[in-house]
Amino acid sequence: MNGKLLFLLITLVVFTTTSQEDASEKLSFEDVSQSISSTSMPYFSGLNGYFSFRIPALIKTNKTVLAFAEGRKNSTSDFGDIDLVVRRSEDNGQTWAPLQLIYDQDTMAVQNPVPIYLKQENKIILLFNTTTLSEHDILHTDYKEENQRRAYITSSLDDGLSWSTPREITQTVKQQHWRWHALGPVHGIQLRHGANKGRIVVPVAISIKKGSSAYCMALIYSDDSANSWKIGAVDNNLNDAVQSNETTIVELLDGRIYVNTRDHLGGSHLKNRGETYSLDGGLSFEEPIIESDKFPSPIVQSALLRWYPRENTARNMIFFSTPSNPEKREHLIIMLSTDESQSWKTVFKVHNGFAAYSDMVQLDGNTLGVLYETDEYKKILFRQVTIKQ
């Protein structure tokens, strides 16, 4: 090998490793849960007459932060009269515009918001489900095809001020024998690296036969800016230790997709999550999903976020938000990986006490935004967290 090339390679390895170690060292544990100056409340019980808001999802366009949720009219129940709503912020979540209704189907449940921001087009894509049946009925009863859970897509070209008429995509993202079908719920991703650059990938929870012990998960994708959709990788193994359910994904720097999923049954002690990878842009999984003891999570939805550094920096960070009591939903933390998902450490405590579903967004080069459920589902809070440089 050419001597100069070898020197450059060694220098790059040393520089990258040092940068990752520096990032990890700078982000030592910090409890930000008591700060109120960096917290706002986009959703709370009684807002616009809704009993409760649940299932937060979060993205940022060039100038606007959008916090999505399910507006639950009469209770906190996962079934009933549920609308899809959003609130917008143009000051990084310090204040919020009035609540905006995206989709209301009378008494039908409109659920599972999954937003993706396509930066090159300044376009927001939003996927969601509708249903006339409860989860119990979907899993345990025979029902007509017209009563299956359905998938829809809408979009916005003006930072969420207006939305296109929702278009049904059920036939292209749901196999006929799948009973349960729940998109996300968390933001989807658009790949930035490798042969599949530009591909949109979204996780979906499924069940593959009758009964409550058949939860699995899949990835769906689009290669044409969300105009058409296909089913990619499918986890359909009911004999492994993980009954995957709500899933979050992130792209690694080498183009792989890291998959982190909730174990519906909780797995073994202290192993409430599963992990795997996709090497081909979401078309297949490298290996079966395996139990992980890296995360102190209860049985709950969690979120991943790739941190994109400012220009001329080499920091390599992935964040993971989750409650941190394995037995119940409380004490929301942010975990950090600086080695592309191989290892994790807790770097922030975001909330003390009850906390459940969450999502994250990068607000700028120094600030992380975290949207999460709290107060027994009576509130959804938004917190800014400063990332030290």
Q: State residue 385 phi and psi, 5-degree precision.
A: -125, 125
Residue 136 lies in a domain: yes
Of 209, 208, 229, nearest to 220 by C-alpha is: 229
Q: What is the pLDDT of residue 18?
A: 40
Say whether pLDDT at 254 is over 90: yes
Residue 101 · residue 85 · CB < 8 Å: yes
Helix, strand, coil percent values for the chain (each to nearest 5): 10, 45, 45
Burial of residue 347 (number of CB atoms within 10 Å: 0-12, 13-18, 19+) = buried
pLDDT tens string 57-107: 999 999 999 999 999 999 999 999 999 999 999 999 999 999 999 999 999
**CA–CA gap between residue 357 and residue 179 (Å, rounded):** 23
Asked if the structure places residue 8 within a domain, the reply is: no
In a domain, 18, yes or no: no
Q: What's the pLDDT tens digit per position in 264-294?
A: 887 666 688 999 999 999 999 999 999 999 9
Instruction: In whole angstroms, give the CA distance from residue 284 to residue 278.
Output: 6
Which alpha helices (H) appear in the chain, and where do they start and end? 3-26, 135-140, 170-173
Is the pLDDT at 24 greater than 70, yes or no? no
Show the domain range for 287.
29-386
- Residue pLDDT, tens place only, 186-224: 999 999 999 999 999 999 999 999 998 999 999 999 999
pLDDT value at residue 3: 44
CATH, residue 222: 2.120.10.10
User: pLDDT at residue 4 above 80?
Assistant: no
Asked if the structure places residue 21 within a domain, the reply is: no
Does 13 have pLDDT greater than 80?
Answer: no
Higher pLDDT, 17 or 29: 29
Average pLDDT over residues 19-24: 50
pLDDT > 90: percent of the chain: 85
Does a structural domain hold residue 178?
Answer: yes
Residue 15 included in any domain: no
Among residues 371, 368, 334, the alpha carbon closest in space to that of 349 is found at 334
Res 1: pLDDT: 47
CB 297 within 8 A of CB 325: no
Count of domains in the chain? 1
Counting beta carbons within 10 angstroms of the beta carbon of residue 259, is it exposed (0 to 12), middle (13 to 18) or buried (19 or more)?
buried
The confidence score (pLDDT) of residue 285 equals 97
Full-model pTM: 0.93
In a domain, 227, yes or no: yes
Distance CA 322, CA 329 (A): 9
Q: Which amino acid is at 122?
A: N
pLDDT tens digits, 309-354: 765 554 689 999 999 999 999 999 999 999 999 999 999 999 999 9
